[in-house]
Structure 1
Amino acid sequence: MESKKTVNFEPIDKQFTKYVVPSVIAMSVQAFYTVLNGIIAGQGNGEIALGAINIVLPFYMVIIALAMLVGIGGANIYSFHKGKGEMEATNNIFCQCLALSAIIGVTLALVGFFSRENLVLFLGANEEMFPAAVAYLKWLAPCSLLQMVVFVLIVFVRNDDAPKLVMVASAFGAVVNIILDIILIFVMHFGIEVIALTNGISMLTTGAFFIPHFADQKGLLRICKPIFHFNDIKRVLSNGVASFLMEFWQSAIALSFNLALVHTVGTLGVSAYSIVTYVCALINMILIGVTQGAQPLMSFYHGKGDAKAFSHVYRLGVRTNTMIPILLVAGCAAFGSKIVLLFHSGNLELTVLTVQMFRLFPLGFIFVGPVLMNILFFQATERNTYATLISFLRCIGFVQVFLLLFIHLFGANGIYLSFLAGEMCHFILSQILVQKTMKKLEKKVGEMKADIPEAP
């Protein structure tokens, strides 16, 4: 009887570690300084400042979502061409994406700056939070251009075989951000608007690290005048829609929960949710770090036509993104009361409310990790309809339905449990579609093998 041939996946495991570990560290550092921004805002400017930042959060997430639309969408196509050895096409994809990100960044900066008061009202600010939220958005909006361009550079430089450079650049930018926040708020006693300004300086610092990569031609990418092709842009945007929605998900969830909490619990509820959001952003960024680390490998092996290597990277990502949230969610439940005290002191009612939220809301992230990897699976195989469907439902779908239902059934606790119920539904649906896609891919591979004539 013929023995089954075993495949040595050790080199792929090492590649996975090479890309995922720096990506997770870079994302963790960014999330960590976001959490520190919240701590600094809460301790230095009070609970209303925390609520104001959370009110503006959806606009900030839209910036990141659009950056992911262009960056991740372009990087998937870039690595696909790279796997096929089509180097001229890969660089032009990068240049088109960089130019597109700059155009979108300028547009966002103008709209956010000149419409800041109307935007803040639309995002649900009440009279208490309105002045602080407007002041914060006034400085956040002009930084949109930097956010867009630097994020696209981060994604493409990582795909250009430089994940460690991205990690170092992100970490250094975060350190600059934290130092400036501490000086400007605790020492010089500025308001929360400087948090937006220092974030822009942080992005500028991170972007400066990439100059030698391009100037010394250390990778394959070159910054040059793009040759725009409608089909390239269409393909990038079609592939990136899921990434846009994946990030816009945070904005949609934040907006839905802010509106529910303002009307059921009040300003205190929004402040409590703001603290939980900061910590959950850390969990989410780590999961995104794993996903983005796996992305260059999955897109490359799909372009190369290596189904076994592609499948192995995907399964590694799913396992990693399942274990991480379980550990972090357990930590939230165990140390919630201590975490809350980092953001404020002296308000017992806020502490009790936030600890209660910590025990329930983060549970949904146990399903978020595998769902992110499933979306990446669809993007890498260019099943964009499936990727967009799951990502859209995560923004506007199951969570909102459960939110409306559970408020009436369970009161305030229902608000937090609706997130868990919604993400569980996304996981089940995405898993069904992954299995369906895998069967189609296996069938296609089988047909291709059948068409190859046997050697004489």
Structure 2
Amino acid sequence: MELKQIKNSTSSMILQFSIPSIIAMMLTSWITVADGFFMGNYVGKEAIAAVNLGLPIVYLYLGVGLMVSIGGVAIAGMALGAGDRETGNQVFRQTIALTLFLSAGISVLIGFGFGPMLRILHADERVIAYFQEYYRIMLLELPIMVVNSSLGMFIRGEGSPRYFMKVTILNVLLNILLDYLFAGCFHKGAAGIAAASLISAAVSLLFLLYYFWKKARIYRLGKFRFSGEVCVQALLNGSSEFIGEISTGITMFAYNFVIMRQIGVDGVTAFTIVGYTAYAFSMVIVGFGQGSSPLISFCYGAGEKMLASDIRKRTNRYVFGAGAAVFLLMALSADWYGGLFVQNEHVAGMVRSGILIFMVSFFFSGINAITSFYFTAVGKAAESAAISFSRGLVVLLACIFTLPALFGMTGVWLAAPVTEAVTLIITGGLLSRESLREA
């Protein structure tokens, strides 16, 4: 990565770093969609609802993993931009070790919390059975997933995003094959689908470790000197991502709580199916964010603040265009989309009536998320956290508990676009304030 190259080919550098990341993240989302397809077609709609009830657990892992990893990648990237490769390598080693330690600890704690969570949601016996069957295995898979994601960020930061993309392709193909074998052929149900995820994640980890043992040019595995200062700085710098993911987990719990009480299992199933599209689009946003963040950190660390801001603006234009494209695509395919996952007309009807309302949020969410990534990449955690806190918790929770009470299931679909529109106003205010400071 060279500053002159970034200046001369800014757009192409953004795409060069982002497209492999987007492909990798999209493929990751296809694992979730494939799991939902096999759950709905080979296990039942209650199994889809059970998986959705446990998504707050997944977001807890993602929150901790992203907080440590993105914070660490930003520090390492700025160190590389300043010419200090040794510090960057030490930060890498500490980040991976801390990610592994924290995610394994979460698995131990969550193992004792299944019962209370399901009692609060008033889940029925079939949903509870599928939940326990699936997530007891996923407690082993999720720490591996988090470490894989962290290693992938550093591979991209080193300038080799295509390698991580290839590993992700392997992960997806293996997962889909094993889903088909375990659920479709051997009829192992929810446990088989969870086992497929665990095996594919473990195989991917081996290929990622091989990269750092044999191919890496900057970041190498090995001993490290633990730095409390770097640890605190990384956690603070990645705090907005933690807030974003934990907020998503909290709001997902709130969504499930409200829908279960007002609509029932069919409502949760419909919301989950629409959520697959939202999750896939969020992976496009994260791909652009992870692709542009190393460039932003490098330029900012080299004193090129205007160039870092230009990278943000160009990336925002890309995600807005992507949101418009996804909206158009789903508008054309909304009639058959719900039936792809369940053979239940009531659920499919809910999906058809709500998906376009929900996806209005795609026009705003990308800009909000990329701006949050930008503030994290330049070390401005407070501004990043303000955006994440608004779109992921405060405004969204207010919408979840008011709009469905007023408009039923339509209110559920309206919660996301209203939240993103309000957050966009906050995002604009933060960017205006930064422009005045830099002037």
Considering the TM-score relative to the shorter chain, is it more than 0.5? yes
Are residues 1:342 and 2:340 paired? yes
Are residues 1:382 and 2:367 paired? no
Letter of the aligned partner of 2:357 in structure 1? L
Contact 2:358 2:417 in 1 (8 A): yes
Contact 1:125 1:133 in 2 (8 A): no
Match of 2:325 among 327, 334, 337: 327
Q: Provide the C-alpha distance between the structure 1 equivalents of 2:143 and 2:121, rounded to a whole number of angstroms.
A: 21
Contact 1:280 1:362 in 2 (8 A): yes
Contact 2:82 2:301 in 1 (8 A): yes
Contact 1:139 1:194 in 2 (8 A): no
Larger radius of gyration, structure 1 or 2?
Answer: 1
Letter of the aligned partner of 1:264 in structure 2? Q
Contact 1:390 1:430 in 2 (8 A): yes
Displacement of 1:295: 0.7
Alignment-derived partner of residue 437 in structure 1: 434
Alignment-derived partner of residue 256 in structure 1: 254
Alignment-derived partner of residue 166 in structure 1: 164
**Could you state the TM-score of these two structures normalised by the residue count of structure 1?**
0.92
Match of 2:100 among 83, 99, 102: 102
Are residues 1:72 and 2:70 paired? yes
Displacement of 1:124: 5.6
**Could you state the TM-score of these two structures normalised by the residue count of structure 2?**
0.95
Are residues 1:233 and 2:231 paired? yes
CA 1:193–1:250 in structure 2 vs 1: closer, same or farther (change >3 Å)? farther
- Partner SS state of residue 187, structure 2: coil
Contact 1:116 1:138 in 2 (8 A): no
| Larger mean Cα displacement after TM superposition, 110-119 or 157-166 | 110-119
State how 1:273-284 maps to structure 2 within 5 Å. 273-284=271-282
- Partner SS state of residue 219, structure 1: coil
Q: Provide the C-alpha distance between the structure 2 equivalents of 1:373 and 1:142, rounded to a whole number of angstroms.
A: 31
Displacement of 1:56: 0.8
Contact 2:6 2:13 in 1 (8 A): no
- Partner SS state of residue 100, structure 1: helix
Displacement of 1:370: 0.2
| Larger mean Cα displacement after TM superposition, 197-206 or 155-164 | 197-206
Are residues 1:32 and 2:30 paired? yes
Contact 1:374 1:431 in 2 (8 A): no
- Partner SS state of residue 226, structure 2: coil
C-alpha RMSD of the superposition: 1.7
Alignment-derived partner of residue 3 in structure 1: none
Letter of the aligned partner of 1:274 in structure 2? T
State how 1:40-119 maps to structure 2 within 5 Å. 40-119=38-117
Q: Which runs of 5+ in 2 are unaligned?
A: none
Q: Which runs of 5+ in 1 are unaligned?
A: 1-6, 443-456
Contact 1:242 1:391 in 2 (8 A): yes
Q: Provide the C-alpha distance between the structure 1 equivalents of 2:6 and 2:68, rounded to a whole number of angstroms.
A: 35
Q: Provide the C-alpha distance between the structure 2 equivalents of 1:42 and 1:408, rounded to a whole number of angstroms.
A: 28
Displacement of 1:34: 1.3
CA 1:32–1:8 in structure 2 vs 1: closer, same or farther (change >3 Å)? closer
- Partner SS state of residue 269, structure 1: helix
Q: Provide the C-alpha distance between the structure 1 equivalents of 2:171 and 2:43, rounded to a whole number of angstroms.
A: 23
Are residues 1:428 and 2:425 paired? yes
Letter of the aligned partner of 2:262 in structure 1? T
Q: Provide the C-alpha distance between the structure 2 equivalents of 1:389 and 1:382, rounded to a whole number of angstroms.
A: 14
- Partner SS state of residue 305, structure 1: coil
Displacement of 1:19: 0.3
- Partner SS state of residue 210, structure 1: helix
Displacement of 1:164: 0.6
Q: Provide the C-alpha distance between the structure 2 equivalents of 1:122 and 1:187, rounded to a whole number of angstroms.
A: 35
What percent of counterpart residues are identical?
23
Contact 1:170 1:206 in 2 (8 A): yes
Contact 2:148 2:208 in 1 (8 A): no
| Larger mean Cα displacement after TM superposition, 245-254 or 26-35 | 245-254
Alignment-derived partner of residue 153 in structure 2: 155
Alignment-derived partner of residue 408 in structure 2: 411
Contact 2:396 2:415 in 1 (8 A): yes
Contact 1:290 1:321 in 2 (8 A): yes
Aligned length: 435
Displacement of 1:144: 2.9
Displacement of 1:376: 1.4
- Partner SS state of residue 379, structure 1: helix
Displacement of 1:12: 2.2
Displacement of 1:294: 0.6
Displacement of 1:217: 4.4
CA 1:123–1:242 in structure 2 vs 1: closer, same or farther (change >3 Å)? farther
